[in-house]
Amino acid sequence: MSSVLALSSVSKSYGALKVTDDISFEIQRGETYGILGPNGAGKTTLFNLVSGDVRPDAGTIHFDGNDIGALAPHKRCVAGIGRSYQVPRPFGGMTVFENLLVGATFGGELAEHAAYDVCIDVLERTGLKRRANQLASTLTLLDRKRLELARALATRPKLLLLDEIAGGLTEPETHELVDEIKRVKEHGVTIVWIEHVVHALLAVADRLLVIHFGKRLAEGSPAAVMDDPEVKRVYLGLEA
C-alpha cells in the first residue's frame, strides 16, 4: 500500500496554548484510521490542519505524495480531500440533491451532466435517494449526518475526514450510519475518523491514534490501543 496522508512533526499553537504538539503519522491507501482523545485534545485542529482551514506553525503535511502546505482549502478539496463537520451545516434552503450538486460541481469541479451522475450514485450509497427533493432544513439529525457524508462524497474524495459524525445519534441510528461508512470503505475511500462514540469507531477502524493535550499518546491496532494502560487511564478514566 502507498501513503495517502503523511504528517511529519506538525505543531500548532494559539498564543501560549499548544493544541497540536509534534504530531507525526502516515495513513495508507484504503485504510480507515480512527482518532480518539478527550475534549480539547486537539483532534479537530488536526482536521483543520489537513483541510487547510488553519496552517501549522511547524512540520509538513503531504497528501498523495505532495506537500500541500501552500494549498488553499478549496484546492485541497479539488485535489481529493473531503470532510464532514461535527455540527451539520447543510444549505437549508436547498434540496438534498442540490446540496450534493454544490459538492460535485464546486468541490469536485465536475460538469453538470457528470455531476448529476455522481450525485445520484451518492444518494443511493448513503440511503438518501428517498430524500432527494426534500429541503435540507427539514431533515432529521440522522439524515443531516447522512447529508454531511454524502456532500463530502460528492466531491469524489481520495481521503475522507469524518468529524464526530455519530455524535448525538441514538444507538440504532449509530448502527445505520456505521453500516453506511463501511460501504464507503468498501469502495476504496481512505477514511480518517474522529469520534467519541468509541464502539462505532472500533467497528470500522484498521488503526487508532489517541492524542492527549495535542500529543500522541498511543497508536496501533484497535485492540492494542484500547488495552494500553495510559489510554485506559487518560481516555477511559480507568486505572491499569
Q: Is residue 141 part of a domain?
A: no
Q: Is residue 67 part of a domain?
A: yes
**All cell numbers assigned to 98:** 442540490
What one-letter code names the amino acid at 221? S
Q: Is residue 115 part of a domain?
A: no
With contact defined as beta carbons under 8 Å apart, do 51 and 83 qualify?
yes
Instruction: Kindly tell me if the per-residue pLDDT of 52 is higher than 70.
Output: yes
Work out the pLDDT band at 152, boundaries 50, 70, 90: very high
Number of domains in the chain: 1
* Percent of the chain surpassing pLDDT 90: 78
Q: Is residue 222 part of a domain?
A: yes
Q: Tell me the pTM.
A: 0.91
With contact defined as beta carbons under 8 Å apart, do 226 and 202 qualify?
yes
Q: Is residue 212 part of a domain?
A: yes
Work out the pLDDT band at 1, boundaries 50, 70, 90: low
**All cell numbers assigned to 202:** 472500533
Q: Is residue 59 part of a domain?
A: yes
Q: What pLDDT does residue 134 have?
A: 97
Q: Is residue 8 part of a domain?
A: yes
Pick from 240, 237, 216, 221: which is nearest to 229 by CA?
Answer: 240
Q: What pLDDT does residue 236 have?
A: 65
Domain with 190, as residue range(s), is 3-86+157-234
Give me the chain's average pLDDT, please: 92
Instruction: Kindly tell me if the per-residue pLDDT of 143 is higher than 50.
Output: yes
Mean pLDDT of the region 205-217:
93
Instruction: Kindly tell me if the per-residue pLDDT of 190 is higher than 90.
Output: yes
Q: In this predicted model, what pLDDT tens digit does every residue of 88-137 receive, in sequence order?
A: 889 999 999 999 999 999 887 888 888 999 999 999 999 999 999 999 99
200: CATH: 3.40.50.300
Q: Is residue 138 part of a domain?
A: no
The β-bridge relationship of strands 81-83 and 190-194 is: unpaired
With contact defined as beta carbons under 8 Å apart, do 32 and 74 qualify?
no
Count of beta carbons in the 10 Å neighbourhood of residue 153: 26
What span, in angstroms and rounded, lies between the C-alpha atoms of 103 and 208?
29
Mean pLDDT of the region 217-230:
93
